[in-house]
Every structure is written in C-alpha cells, then in structure tokens.
Amino acid sequence: MTSLQFSGVGVRYGQHDALSNFTDTVKPGEWLCLIGPNGAGKSSLLRSVAGLAKHSGEIRVDGSPLRMRSAKRRAQLVAYVPQSPVLPDDMTAREYVVLGRNPFVSHFGSETKHDWAIVADVLERLDLVDLAHRAVGTLSGGEKQRVVIARAIAQEAPILLLDEPTSALDIGHQQQALELVDQLRKEHGLTVVSAMHDLTLAGLYSDRLCLLHQGYRVVSGTAAEVLRQETLAEFYGVSARVHHAEDGTVVVIPYRQGSSGN
Amino acid sequence: MRRWWIPAAGALALASVLLGAMVGPAGPSWWRVPLALLDHLPLVSIDSGVTPREWTIIWDIRMPRVVLAALVGSMLSLSGASYQGVFRNPLVDPYLLGVAAGAGLGATLVFTLNRTGSSTWIIDPLPLSAFAGGLLAVLVTYVVGTAFGGQKSASTLVLAGVAVTALATAVQTFVLQRHTDVVRQVYSWILGRLSSATWGDVRLVLPYVVVSSVVLFLHRRLLDIMRVGDDEATALGASVNRVRIVVVIAATLGTSAVVAVSGLIGFVGIIVPHAVRLLAGASYRVIVPLSLLMGASFLIIADIPGRVLQNPSETPIGVVTAFLGAPFFLLLLRTRQGTR
C-alpha cells in the first residue's frame, strides 16, 4: 500500500491561485474525500497529482517526489478518473479499458498477452463482460461510469483519484459506483483521493474528509468532526441541518429559511 | 473478425492493381495482361503472347499510372485518418486543413521559379517546397482554429482550414497572374494529374510515402489513446504534444509529396477512412492499415473511368473524387450533427 504526501502544494492559473499551500498526508489504504464549494480547489489538487496542473510545493508517493517521474512512471503510480471523461462514442468497452495499459506499453509497442489478460480480468470483475464489445456511446450512465473505473483499475496504480465520480448518476448508481470503489480499494489496497459534492455520501464512504475553501485547507477529520452545521453555513453558505444517525452516519439535510426554522 | 479485414483489403488492392493494368484504350487483350506480368516475375516463364510493343504499353504507360494512383490514394487516406485522430475531429482531411492548398502554393512557386533549372539539383525541390507550404498551412490552421474555438470545436478547425485554403489559393492565383507562361502547366497539374505519370514520378514520391507511412503506422496505438482527449491521454502517460507534432509532420510530408506530383485530388482522405470506420470499427489499429490498402484500391478504381472514356478529353481524377466526395462529406456532416 502506498502513501501520498502533500507539502505546501499550490496551483496557479495565470494570476489566480486555485490552491494554496496545501499540506496533508494520505495514509496507505486510506480514502480521503475532498469537499468544499465550487472553486474551492478540489479539482486542482487532483489534477496536480495526475500531472495535469503545474504545481508548486512537493507531492510525494511513498516518500519520493512525483515531479521527478516521467509521465509514464507517474501513470503507473496514479490513476485518474476525471469529472466528465471523454468516451469516444464508437470505441468498444474493451478497446477503452485497454487504454489503461498504456503506462506499461513501450511507445511504439503494442499490448502483450499479459495486458489483455488483465483487461479480461478487470472486465470480468466489474461485471462488464457482456458489454465488452458494445460501443461505449450506447451504454447507460451507470455502465459508462463502470467502464471508466475499469480503465483506471486496469492501470494497476496504487493511488486512485476520482473527481466527482457520482455527479452524473442517479442515487442507485451513485451507491453502486462508490460500493465498487470501496470493494476495489479493499481488494487491491488502493489509496483513494476523491472530490465529492454530496456530503452525506462523502461521509459515508471515505475514512476522512478534508474541507477546502477558496484554495485553502480549512479542516480535516471524520465526518462527525467536519460536517457541522456552523461549518457548512460558513463555508458553503447553506442552511442545512446535520443529523447523526444511530449507526454513526452523518446526514446533511438542507432546509428552507422560514419554512421550518428550529 | 478483424483479422479477416486486412487480408481482404490486401486482396482487393492487388486485384485493383491488376484491373488497372488490364484496361486501357490501346494494348493487348485484357486477359493476356496478368500472364504477361507473371511472365516477367523472376523464375517464372509463361507464354503470354504479348508483343514487346504491347509490353511497353503495360509496363511504361499503364503501370506507372496505377502504381502512382495506389501511392497517392494510400497516402491521402492514411494522412486523412491520422489528422482526424490527432485533431480528434472527424471532419478534417488534408484538403480541409489547408495542407493541400499550402503544398500546392509551394509547388506553384517552384514551377514559376524556373522549373527547368531544378533538374540539376540533387534532391528535387518540388516535394520539399510543397512540404514547407503544407506545414505552414496546417500550423496556421491549427493555431487559428484552436485559439478561437478551443480543442472541442470541430467546426472552427474546419472553418480555419477553409480560410487558409482560400488565402493560399489567392496567393497562388496572384503568382500565376504574374507568370502567365506557366498557367497552362500549373492548371493541368492542379486538377489532378495522374495521366502523364512516369516511373520517375513514382520514384520521386516513393521515399516520402514510405517514410510517412512507417511513422504513421507506428503511431496507430497512440492515435487510439489520443481519442480520450489531451488531459486523459496525459494522465495515462502519453506524451500528447510529441505524438501530435510527429504525426502532423509525417502526414503533411506524405501529403505534400503526393500533391507535388499528382496535383489536388480532393476528398480521398475523408471518404476512405470513414468507409473503413463503417466497415471495420473505429480503432486506429485497424483504420491505419485498412486506410492504406483501401485508399490504394479506391484511387486506382476511381481513375479507371477517366482512362477508358478518353473522348473528347480525359476527365481529371480530381473531378471524379470530388463528384463522389462532396455528397459523402455532406452526408457525414448531417450524421455527425445528429449524434451530437
């Protein structure tokens, strides 16, 4: 299992600081969930790990700096699922999943039997065998998300980054996708960093939440520690009640001003 | 099933070459031609009944034309498929990106600046000048197209290509107006000029086509990765910019060389790759080799009507491909808009 360490990480687009001085350590096998309003810097943080955003400070994987790595080596360590993945309509699910093997194939080479065996295995485990030869453009939203996760798993990277993995899904498929990630995390010992908008789901699935606001890290801890009514009011500007269920689940319920103000 | 397509396309290409060698207004009976060709293979001896004069018609008049058509067709199709891949845009081809017009301008400049003097050069300046023009045109198209439309806009890139084509054509017309002595020569070349093909033309383009095809062939797997967009391809460990630059240079080099020899033959780069996609799927691992083979067949066959119906004057090949290609392009535009 692999740790991910941030020290003073900043991301700047032109004159605008999207992320400032972020320091945190994600323990091996931990699921860290980044929360915060739009523009808080969650995506910038994930993009800096994936090598898509230039950053200051240092990001270390198991203690060694990520910036020293080639794009290929980095892709062997970090798999990235973007918020809205590009799914070429006429590519088959199998062709799409095998793209995840790119970090292990030489520049002008082609996939080996071993690569195709891994793809077959991933398709099998994610229940995608029947869809393997379907064009991804014809799949449903939930199936598409499974295919994207399958590509990331085929990458066999110990760190998995998920940017809003459930934003396009209905409540049933949200749960399915997150259960799948959690199951894969346990099977493979993955370290997961995700950005999520649904605070209840974020608290339910992750080990730890980290609240970002305007590029700064505000607070980090368990769902019960982070998801507090005053915190949400201050940083999201939202009127919400926080309900602690008996099983420890923290539920965030928005309410309308004036309709039931207690 | 996919393995089956490539031998089939190879057989079709071979059959097209034979067909191309068999038809023509003068020469031996058609069925004697394959026998004569076999007879000239090493270690084979067949009595084909073809006279030496007829053999000259087959080997020095028909074959260079067929082989040149095959090279031009392969190169234009392969470049079209590659441009579509790296620009992630199904509507682009060497013509719509302005590459052909830029290469045409480069070639026209060589024609006007005393073509006869160039025979003493070690390397023929025609393909090189065409390459410079083509590369400049595709760079301007890409910079303008992405600056105003962003990576996602398919139509902006095409519009930028149209503008670059118009500009290059205007400059070309201006240059021709000032050098009226070469107007006739240049216009017969612009309309597509397979009719006067010689083995010298084949030798001139062959190195460029081979180099370009090998480079593009090596990139077929990377073209599949480019399909998920720059961000995701980078996150998958691909060096996106390097792949794009190398593929564009290779495709432009090949396109410019064939344009320099055969003139402007439009729409091949869009018809063939899309026909391949419809038949055999959208993976570049299949599109690249199939475009190469099918492009050769397509242009050899498209050239046959022009060779047979020679009265009163021959129909230029560029006219034939435009007749087929323009409706096809409109159909493609319509279906793409339906799916978006």
Count up the domains in chain A and report the number: 1
For residues B157 and B149, the answer to whether their CB atoms sit within 8 Å is yes
Q: Tell me which of B86, B222, B236, B240 to substitute to probe the interface with A (most A C-beta atoms closer than 10 Å).
A: B236
Residue B175 has pLDDT above 50, yes or no: yes
CB contact under 8 Å between A99 and B219, yes or no, is no
Q: Which of B2, B17, B70 is nearest to B284 (CA)?
A: B2
Tens digit of each residue's pLDDT (9 = 90 or more) over B271-281 = 999 999 888 88
Within a domain: B54:
no
pLDDT at B311 over 50: yes
pLDDT on residue B150: 60
Instruction: Give a yes or no: residue A216 inside a domain.
Output: yes
Which of A71, A88, A108 faces B239 most closely, judged by CB atoms?
Answer: A71
Is pLDDT above 70 for B154? no
Give a yes or no: residue B5 inside a domain: no
Nearest residue on chain A to B217, alpha-carbon basis = A108
- For testing the chain A interface, which of B219, B226, B227, B339 should be mutated: the one with the most A CBs within 10 Å? B227
Q: In angstroms, what separates the C-alpha of A179 from chain B's closest C-alpha?
A: 24
Q: Which amino acid does the sequence have at B163?
A: A
Mean pLDDT of the region B145-160: 73
| Nearest CB to B228 within list A75, A88, A137 | A88
In a domain, A261, yes or no: no
Contact at CB, B221 and A72, closer than 8 angstroms: no
CB under 8 A, 24+ apart: contacts of A247-254: A248/A224, A249/A200, A249/A203, A249/A204, A249/A223, A250/A200, A250/A203, A250/A223, A250/A224, A251/A200, A252/A199, A252/A200, A252/A203, A252/A227
- Which single residue is written with the structure tokens 């014809």? A138
Q: What is the DSSP letter of A67?
A: G
Inter-chain contact B228–A85, Cβ cutoff 8 Å?
Answer: yes
CATH number where A148 lies: 3.40.50.300
Extended beta strands in chain A, E state: 4-13, 16-26, 31-35, 55-61, 64-65, 78-81, 159-163, 191-195, 208-213, 216-221, 240-244, 250-254
Distances (CA, A) of A52 to A44, A60, B53, B109: 9, 16, 67, 43
User: Residue A28 sits in which domain range?
Assistant: 4-254
pLDDT of residue B338: 43
Number of domains chain B contains: 1
pLDDT value, residue B75: 96
- Which pLDDT does position B14 carry in this prediction? 94
Is residue A41 one of the residues assigned to a domain? yes
Flag whether B66 is in a domain: no
B46 vs B4, which has greater pLDDT?
B4
**Is residue A58 helix, strand or coil?**
strand
Q: Cβ–Cβ of A75/B236 closer than 8 Å? A: yes
Domain assignment present for residue B230? The answer is yes
Confidence of residue B336 (pLDDT cuts 50, 70, 90): low
Local confidence band at B235 (pLDDT 50, 70, 90 cut-offs): very high
In a domain, B69, yes or no: no
Residues whose CB falls within 8 Å of the CB of residue B128, separated by 6 or more in sequence, listed in order? none
CB A200 within 8 A of CB A252: yes
Are A209 and A31 a contacting pair, CB within 8 Å?
A: no
CB B191 within 8 A of CB B318: yes
pLDDT on residue A74: 96
Q: Which of A60-74, B181-195, B259-273 has the highest mean pLDDT?
A: A60-74
B226 strand-pairing partners: none
* Chain A residues lying within 8 Å of B217, measured CB to CB: none
> Has residue B64 been placed in a domain?
no
Kindly report each contact of residues B321-329 with a partner whose C-beta sits within 8 Å and lies 24 or more positions away, as own/partner: B321/B192, B321/B265, B321/B266, B321/B267, B321/B268, B321/B271, B322/B266, B322/B267, B324/B267, B324/B271, B325/B266, B325/B267, B325/B268, B325/B270, B325/B271, B326/B267, B328/B267, B328/B270, B328/B271, B328/B274, B329/B91, B329/B267, B329/B270
pLDDT of B340 = 37
Rounded CA-CA distance B302/B317 in Å is 7
Please check whether residue B46 lies inside any domain of the structure.
no
Assess contact for A18 and A55: CB atoms under 8 A.
no
Instruction: Give A74's contacts (C-beta < 8 A, 6+ positions apart).
Output: A50, A51, A66, B237
Check whether B324 has a pLDDT greater than 80: yes
- Asked if residue B151 has pLDDT above 60, the reply is no
Over residues A142-195, the pLDDT tens digits come to: 899 999 999 999 999 999 999 999 888 888 889 988 999 999 999 999 999 999
**CATH code: domain of residue B260:** 1.10.3470.10
Cα dist from B161 to B134, B138, B188, B276, whole Å: 12, 8, 24, 24
State pLDDT tens for residues B285-294. Answer: 999 999 999 9
Residue A54 belongs to a domain: yes
pLDDT tens, position by position, for chain A (262 residues)? 899 999 999 999 989 999 999 999 999 999 999 999 999 999 999 999 999 999 999 999 999 999 889 999 999 999 999 999 999 988 999 999 999 999 999 989 889 999 999 999 999 988 899 999 999 999 999 899 999 999 999 999 999 999 999 888 888 889 988 999 999 999 999 999 999 999 999 999 999 999 999 999 999 999 999 999 899 999 998 888 888 888 888 999 888 876 554 4
The two tokens of residue B241 are: 């910019």
Number of Cβ within 10 Å of residue A219's Cβ equals: 14
Pick from B219, B224, B281: which is nearest to A99 by CB? B224
Per residue in B208-223, pLDDT tens? 999 999 999 999 999 9
Looking at the complex, report in whole angstroms how far the Cα of residue A104 sits from the nearest Cα belonging to chain B.
Answer: 9
Higher pLDDT, B31 or B298: B298
Residue range(s) defining the domain that contains residue B235:
79-289+311-339
**A219-228, B89-98, B146-155, B292-301 — which is least confidently predicted?**
B146-155
Q: Over the stretch B49-82, which tens digit does the pLDDT of each residue have?
A: 788 888 888 888 889 999 999 999 999 999 999 9
| Nearest-5° Cα angle at B86, B84 to B91 | 20
User: What CA–CA distances, in Å, run from B193 to A34, B123, B260, B306?
Assistant: 63, 21, 10, 11
* B199 within some domain: yes
Q: What angle do CA A52, A30, A207 make, to 5 degrees?
A: 110
Cβ-Cβ contacts under 8 Å, A108 against chain B? 218-219
pLDDT of B120 reads 58
Looking at chain B, which residue has its C-alpha nearest residue A103? B237
| The pair of three-digit structure tokens given for residue B143, joined into one six-digit string | 């910079």
Q: Is the pLDDT of residue B110 over 70?
A: yes
